[in-house]
Amino acid sequence: MSIVANKFSGVRAALCYDKYSAKMSRLHNDANVLVLPGRVVDKETVKEIVKIWFTTPFEGGRHRIRIDKISAIEGKLKCR
C-alpha cells in the first residue's frame, strides 16, 4: 500500500511496524500517510503506533531539505 500511495504527488506514506518506525517517519520524513501491516503486528502495538504517529511533530531543520527535494521531484514528474 505504501508503494502505491507514494506514487501520488504530495503523499509521503510510511509503513510502520513498530513504535520506532512510527516516530521516525513523522520526525524525520514528515510522513502524511500511515500504512500498517496486517499480519505481523498485534492490536495493542497498532494502537501505540497510531498514537505515536499522530502526536509526533516533524522536526524540520536538516530534514526539511530532503522533503523539499522530494517536492521538487514531484513538480517535474506526473503520476500516470
Instruction: State yes or no: is 63 an active-site residue.
Output: no
User: Which grid coordinates are listed for 46?
Assistant: 497498532
Angle between helices 19-27 and 43-55 (to 10 degrees): 20
User: Which grid coordinates are listed for 75?
Assistant: 513538480
DSSP string of 7-50?
TSTT--EEE--SHHHHHHHHHTT---EEE--SSSS-HHHHHHHH
Set 28, 50, 56, 70: catalytic member: 28
Question: Catalytic residue positions?
Answer: 28
